A and B are shown apart, each in its own frame.
Chain A
């Protein structure tokens, strides 16, 4: 699509903020217009990267599972990690990628809790790797809107 979708959203957000909002009669309506403008700007930011960041994260979590498999003591969990690590995303549609992401991150929660309960240096190292992935996940999701 041309013009680019994110360029259109940015212009829509600017128009709402600079042209429509000042003409609205009440503070309540102006506040709503400002929020819609901010949301539109955020949508512009997300549009271009939406599939890329999801593919990257799903790959990172699967790779983490591969790393965890030999270290996990629980047989059932180890098998599920093996199965999940072998999955792939159904398509590059954002909803399909989100479905994968939801399943992978639910299993990541289980893995994290299990590793916390294990002793030894290898478990601590894996725990650090999980935290590093969780931290990286917030970098992927960051929007200019966010305060921190």
Chain B
């Protein structure tokens, strides 16, 4: 850790053009694809600033490109969607042994969904939920050309969004499954037979918009939307569907994301995005969200099983979510019987 701090200080000193010191470097939970560290940048001219380092490890739960995450965050700086100030990106693995970027720390918030059900957050949970889907609507509204975000991707038409996502996540399933996945395979066949209509607009899709990726202040206000590592160009219904995926109902009841009834969340999103939700199309995207979730969980299982990453996060993701995710898919297809039947 001391070596990492010294190397980071050397790098940042070169970037700001004067000697800098890094103190308090501490790994924190956060993100499935990068190591995340908190530190203080001591700059003799500008003073001490709290920072976050997102460093690519040798392997990760989700394979993503740090430049896309960096660009997505920058596309929302100063908007209704609160994001940290993204400051520096480095894709050369030389300085720290992996690509990384540095952003300012947003202080005073909580990301653990379970802690949000406890004081002082619990009293504000519904209001936090209303903010959650209002912000997601704002994300859907944002012009994807902002700061050149769209230019990072191959051109995409509104009628191609569904197929691109379905093909991608089916490929992940093909590559990473350690055992057959009859429920997801049946869902894939159903999705191909019943494609959704073209996207109403092309949007920046956060890709992992869930309660655990929000930073919430003790008064219930959302002060940060984090972990843009799966951001891409696509149909905004994709984000809405992921946000109401039942595996995120951490209160284990019907509240989407542990916060609001699903219908209320959707109505808020409609008002904020200016888009009307076609429920049949949303159901398709919810099935896609379930496939995507399952692809991520089984990839985690493979990483752990093969020894590529023996992080407990990989094992817990697989054991906690795989079966629940299949049950979500069955439920969406109207095929879920009572437990044990």
Contact = CB atoms under 8 A, between A and B. Distances in A.
A102 B180 contact: yes
A116 B313 CA distance: 37
A145 interface: yes
A53 to B, nearest CB: 11
Nearest to B28: A28
B273 to A, nearest CB: 26
A55 interface: no
Given A112-B186, A148-B327, A35 B316 contact: yes
Interface string A123-143: 000000001101111110111
Given A28-B29, A145-B319, A135 B330 contact: yes
Contact of A141 (B186, B252, B323): B323
B341 A148 contact: no
A120 B189 CA distance: 19
A148 B249 CA distance: 8
B interface, size bucket: 35 or more
Given A35-B316, A39-B312, A108-B182, A147 B337 contact: no
A108 B179 CA distance: 12
B321 interface: yes
B246 interface: yes
B167 to A, nearest CB: 18
Interface string A7-46: 0000000000000000000111001100110110010000
A105 B189 CA distance: 16
B323 A134 contact: no
Contacts of B330: 131, 134-135, 138
Contact of B26 (A28, A35, A147): A28
A133 B323 CA distance: 14
Contacts of B336: 135, 138
A103 to B, nearest CB: 9
B246 to A, nearest CB: 5
A48 to B, nearest CB: 16
Contact of A39 (B27, B246, B319, B337): B319
Interface in A76-130: 98, 101-102, 105-106, 108-109, 112-113, 116
Contacts of B252: 147-148
Nearest to B333: A131
Contact of A134 (B26, B250, B331, B335): B335
A146 interface: yes
B326 interface: yes
Contacts, number: 112
Interface string B1-43: 0000000000000000000000000111100000000000000
Nearest to B184: A109
Nearest to A45: B319
Interface string B301-330: 000000000001101100111111011101
Contacts of B337: 132, 135-136, 139
A146 B331 CA distance: 15
Contacts of B29: 27-28, 31
A145 B324 CA distance: 9
B180 A146 contact: no
Nearest to B36: A28
A32 B35 CA distance: 14
A39 B315 contact: yes
Interface of A: 26-28, 31-32, 35-36, 38-39, 42, 98, 101-102, 105-106, 108-109, 112-113, 116, 131-132, 134-139, 141-143, 145-148
